[in-house]
């Protein structure tokens, strides 16, 4: 048995994670009439210092997954292990200690910062909650250090969020996330609300901080292009499930799941050497509701490869013949024979 601090052990291990939200009707006697299957059986691993990109369309369960990783919500079933410890089985005190080690950066720096607090108070707030990390007398200096670390002027500690640009506000959010020296940072679409011109700056900052501080990231985004640069591995989600996962090159150069292929070919590149799948991969319509996902394979209602078996048998996320990484498609094959199920 490896010890809980075994450096070879993944820092995060997610197994069979499920989060269903009951939908109720009636005012007094709330009757459950359905369940939103926001996260529906997810397995993931994050190693120390690496970045796992998590990608999928709006509503596929990315933010719900993020909240579960942070133990901000309890799952319907399944486990999250942080450094070997079963997060949802921990006594309150130990859970509190563990929360220091995983932090989140949210999408919208406009709504996630309290407009009535100064930037210094915002960045220093985690020390109020975890006073053991920095005694009162050291907090000012720590806040200055953090501001400097994210490229902000420590002289601006007394300013309010509205006095900063979008990119600067996201730097404030990042500084606050780093205050407690976490090992894991969940970045939930941290640049998608920013002007395109500042997105790259914030991405570069996150990459630099990762190198400098040895952080591991779960990096959530809508599209694959946004995370390629920063990801070591990628998990592609569709309607609450991971449909394909693998190393960066495996996912971008040899995608085997029709959904991954569709996401990649959504960016048209006129390339005569493009693999066969790049031409035939358009998804029809919008994703179905997670309240009532299709039977069998959830993609089948939009998939050009769908056959009868897809309606009856749910494909497992396993390594398929001709490929080297897991894919949850009955017809996932290496790209040479793609399109001939
Ligand atoms: N607290 C909640 N109660 C009920 N349903 C919820 C709750 N939180 C999320 N959902 C539902 O769960 C599904 C997944 O939502 P989630 O926010 O995790 O998706 P997402 O992938 O982060 O989407 P986006 O890309 O738009 O941020 C959605 O159908 C959403 O409406
Ligand atoms: Mg979200």
Encode pLDDT of 215-241 as tens digits: 999 999 999 998 999 999 999 999 999
- pLDDT given for residue 171 in this prediction: 96
Neighbours of 291 (CB within 10 A): 14
Single out the residue of 305, 309, 283 nearest to residue 296, CA to CA.
309
pLDDT in tens, 322-334: 889 999 999 987 6
Reported as a single tens digit per residue, the pLDDT across 53-98 is 999 999 999 999 999 999 999 999 999 999 999 999 999 999 999 9
Q: Is the distance from the beta carbon of residue 60 to the nearest atom of ligand 1 less than 6 Å?
A: yes
Pocket flag, ligand 1, residue 58 (CB < 6 Å): yes
CB 45 within 8 A of CB 12: yes
Which uninterrupted H or E stretch holds 176?
Answer: helix 166-178
Ligand 1 mutation pick, 22, 23, 35, 36, max ligand atoms within 8 A of CB: 36
Does residue 107's CB lie within 6 angstroms of at least one atom of ligand 1?
no
DSSP three-state, residue 254: coil
3-state helix, strand, coil in the chain (%, to 5): 35, 20, 45
For residues 60-74, one letter each, b for 16 or more C-beta atoms within 10 angstroms of the residue's C-beta and e for the rest, the string is bbbbbbbbbbbbebe
Instruction: Enumerate the H helices of 25-165 as residue ranges.
Output: 62-69, 92-99, 119-129, 139-149
Q: How confident is the model at residue 4 (pLDDT cuts 50, 70, 90)?
A: low
Q: Residue 270 CB: number of other CB atoms within 10 A?
A: 5
Distance 51 CA to ligand 2 centre (A): 18
Kindly tell me if the per-residue pLDDT of 269 is higher than 80: no
Ligand 1 in contact with 35 (CB < 6 A)? Answer: no
| 341 Cα to the center of ligand 2, angstroms | 33
Q: Is the CB–ligand 1 distance for residue 226 below 6 Å? A: no
In sequence order, the 6+-apart residues with CB closer than 8 A to the CB of 263 are 55, 223, 224, 236
Residues 143-160: what's their mean pLDDT? 97
Residues 6+ apart with CB under 8 A from 80: 12, 13, 14, 17, 68, 69, 71, 86, 87, 88
User: For strand 12-25 and strand 77-82, is the pairing parallel, antiparallel, or unpaired?
Assistant: antiparallel
């Amino acid at each position: 048995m490896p010890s809980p601090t075994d450096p070879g052990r993944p820092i995060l291990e997610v197994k069979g994670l499920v989060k269903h939200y009951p939908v109720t009707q009636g005012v007094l006697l709330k009757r459950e009439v359905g369940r939103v299957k926001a996260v529906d059986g997810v397995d993931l691993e994050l190693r120390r210092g690496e970045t796992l990109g998590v990608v999928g369309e709006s509503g596929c369960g990315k933010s719900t997954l993020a909240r579960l990783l942070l133990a901000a919500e309890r799952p319907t079933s399944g486990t999250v292990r942080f450094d070997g410890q079963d997060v949802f089985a921990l006594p309150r005190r130990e859970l509190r200690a563990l929360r220091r080690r995983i932090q989140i950066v949210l999408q919208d720096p406009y709504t996630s910062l309290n407009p009535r607090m100064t930037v210094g108070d915002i960045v220093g707030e985690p020390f109020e909650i975890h006073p053991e990390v920095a005694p009162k007398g050291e907090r000012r200096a720590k806040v200055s250090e953090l501001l400097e670390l994210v490229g902000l002027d420590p002289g601006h500690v007394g300013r309010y969020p509205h006095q900063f640009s979008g990119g600067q506000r996201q730097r404030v959010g990042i500084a606050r996330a780093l205050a407690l020296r976490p090992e894991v940072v969940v970045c939930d679409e941290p640049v998608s609300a920013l002007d395109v011109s500042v997105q790259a700056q914030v991405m570069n900052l996150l990459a630099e901080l990762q190198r400098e501080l040895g952080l591991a990231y779960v990096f959530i985004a809508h599209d694959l292009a946004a995370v390629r640069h920063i990801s070591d591995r990628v998990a592609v989600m569709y309607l609450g499930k991971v449909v394909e996962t693998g190393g960066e090159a495996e996912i971008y150069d040899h995608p085997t799941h029709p959904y991954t292929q569709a996401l990649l070919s959504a960016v048209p590149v006129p390339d005569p050497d493009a693999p066969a799948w790049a031409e035939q991969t358009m998804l029809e319509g919008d994703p179905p509701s997670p309240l009532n996902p299709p039977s069998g394979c959830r993609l089948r209602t939009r998939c050009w490869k769908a056959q009868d078996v897809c309606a009856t048998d749910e494909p497992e996320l396993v390594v398929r013949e001709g490929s080297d990484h897991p894919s949850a498609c009955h017809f996932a094959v290496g790209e040479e024979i793609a399109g001939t199920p």
